Structure 1
Amino acid sequence: MTPASSTLDPQLIDRLRQVRLLALDVDGVLTDGRLYFQADGIEIKAFHTHDGHGIKLLQRAGVVVALITGRDSPMVSHRAAALGIPHVHQGVDKKLTVLRELCGRLGLDLEQVAYCGDDLPDVAPIRRAGVGISVPGAPAYIRHYADWVTATAGGHGAVREICDTLLHAQGHWDAVLDTYLHGSS
């Protein structure tokens, strides 16, 4: 069995091969989009472990991962630190501006970026990235601009689907499987 790349357009697979940066929105992509608050006002977010493992696998394969989110949350900082994500941008209104600045610092072109988002602040980076991605729960007018809409919902493994597909498209999938099938490192 192979990741979702087997069902994607061959031209899209070619573009996925060029990706060196995966930039992600948080709420609605890494989470299901719902916000939970305790009685004392502290915010709680739920992250899927499959997404986290996929991010680690992608980073091991040399793809940089960044988070660009409109909200500012200590939970995002904690999750990013646990996953070793060095590029975390919170409280961002102009996500494309931040994405361009990040590409400049990393020496990348926007064509080398896959960006996944689910709401209006994500439209510009979805349209300008080499591969614009959205999730099924995004409004139709957001999904319209994406090159690819994941089969899996945000917060329920959509990021893992993206990571696995990138690993497959870039030729790393067999090595990843081999590591777990045979215990090699």
Structure 2
Amino acid sequence: MTEFSPLLERVRFAVFDFDGVFTDNRVWVNERGEESLAFSRSDGLGLRRLDEVGIRYLIVSLEKNPIVGARAKKLEVDCLQGVDDKLSVVRERARDLGVTLEDTAFVGNDINDAACLRAVGIPVVPADAWPEVRPLAQWVLSRPGGNGCVREFCDAVWEAQRA
């Protein structure tokens, strides 16, 4: 249990940014111009824990990148890419699920996530989130993006919902 357990008991829908949350926000490019990213395998197990407690979730990414789609497919996560207006998507999906924004969590790390972090009831950022968005979070995770922050969030929600 964490000090955020009362907050996390309310989560019914969780939305994740991709770059800087599932990744450490770095990209490797080889001599052919092909990109590579690194991920924490533990995040996938964390998402399964959300399944166990009935939490719906979604990845929303500004960038359209085949690596994002491949990782989301492997994790069996609904993923929308190339989304300029993330907040409209979050509102629409929450409404479709019958969930209020107050009971929606958003995990984001940068200024293009600010509108979502302001709008939801459970705004969360990784430990290494951009300084401009850190004050918008109710919870700053102890782990940085790409290094288990998704797992940290999911485990805490799972624990709070099971209590």
Residue 157 (structure 2) aligns with: 166
Residues 7-50 of structure 1 deviation map (CA, whole Å, 9 limit, x = unaligned): x2xxx422211111110011111100002222222221111001
Residue 132 of structure 2 corresponds to residue 141 of structure 1: yes
Once residues 122 and 133 of structure 1 are traced to their aligned partners in structure 2, the CA distance between those partners, rounded to angstroms, is 10
Structure 2: which amino acid aligns with 1:131?
Answer: I
Q: Where do residues 11-26 of structure 1 align in structure 2 (5 Å cutoff)?
A: 12-26=4-18
One of 104, 110, 125 as aligned partner of 1:119? 110
Once residues 38 and 56 of structure 1 are traced to their aligned partners in structure 2, the CA distance between those partners, rounded to angstroms, is 33
State the 4+ residue runs in structure 1 displaced beyond 4 angstroms. none
Q: SS state of the match for residue 64, structure 2? A: coil
Once residues 37 and 75 of structure 1 are traced to their aligned partners in structure 2, the CA distance between those partners, rounded to angstroms, is 13
Q: Any unmatched runs of 5+ in structure 1?
A: 173-185
Q: TM-score, normalised by structure 1?
A: 0.83
Q: Where do residues 3-42 of structure 1 align in structure 2 (5 Å cutoff)?
A: 5-6=1-2, 8=3, 12-42=4-34
**Deviation larger for 17-26 or 33-42:** 33-42
Q: CA RMSD in A?
A: 1.3
Q: TM-score, normalised by structure 2?
A: 0.94
Q: Where do residues 1-185 of structure 1 align in structure 2 (5 Å cutoff)?
A: 5-6=1-2, 8=3, 12-86=4-78, 88-171=79-162
Q: With a CA cutoff of 8 Å and minimum separation of 6, indicate the structure with the bigger relative contact order.
A: 2
Number of residue equivalences:
163
Identity %: 36
Give the number of the structure whose alpha-carbon radius of gyration is greater: 1
C-alpha deviation, 1:125, in angstroms: 0.7
